[in-house]
Amino acid sequence: MKIALLGYGRMGKAIEKIAENRGHQIVARWDENSQNDPLAEADVAINFSVPSAAVSNIQAAFGHQVPVVCGTTGWLDAYETITQQAQAENCGFLYASNFSVGVNLFFALNQHLAKLMAPYPEYQASLEEIHHVHKLDAPSGTAITLAEGILKNDPRYSEWSLTAQQEHQLPIEALREPDVPGTHTVSYQSPIDTLEIRHEAHSREGFALGAVIAAEWLAGKSGIFSMNDVLNIKA
């Protein structure tokens, strides 16, 4: 399979290594300084660019009928525009806030736990995410996905907030520390005990491998998909 990398930073380089080890060919490498490599040769593009370049990168790939796997967060105000364009141009598009297989199982576990906890108002939910100091967005896309999973299944909360001060707001604490690939904790605290689920990434390889697996699955398809489709997780 021929892959275009849209964004050639740390994640792009990690994806390149895994993709080549799995027998794929990298035919384009785009970064902020160079977007001259040909997209038209690619069977699929993987976008891990900076947020400001995500939309134009995705649209460029669609212009060559190349399906896109996107892991960049911080651009989702344009998500509806991108999905509409993918459908109009009969292209494939798969966005995930996190491509780690473990994290996507964690997402499913989080939603199930939120359903179980909803009838017990004495347990107050909260989220904490820790990432490396170079991460541009806060909270992380993974934390937002976790929060949305709770909002969907627990009517006590109607929105998430980094500065939650009202009962209907689900608090998220976003911490930035050196050399942390990503840790996410969902807590339910009552006056007598605390229940937590936690995912800790040990390296970026899990994210990169998941993105390559998603690209392998998406190649040749059209439509809007998620990692639930790739992993056959029933929502």
Catalytically active residues, by annotation: 131, 135
Sheet of 44-47: strand order equals 25-30, 2-6, 44-47, 68-70, 92-95, 223-225
Alpha helices per DSSP H over 135-191: 141-153
Comparing CA positions, the residue from 217, 210, 178, 203 lying closest to residue 10 is 203
In eight-state DSSP terms, residue 34 is: B
Decide if 218 contacts 225 (C-beta within 8 A).
yes
Q: In whole angstroms, give the CA distance from residue 147 to residue 57.
A: 27
Given a contact cutoff of 8 angstroms between Cβ atoms, the answer to whether 132 and 176 are in contact is yes
Quick one: 163 exposed, middle or buried, by C-beta within 10 A (0-12, 13-18, 19+)?
Answer: exposed
173 DSSP β-pair partners: 128
Q: What are the residues facing 26 on neighbouring strands?
A: 3
Alpha-carbon span 217 to 221, nearest angstrom: 8
CA distance 94 to 224: 6
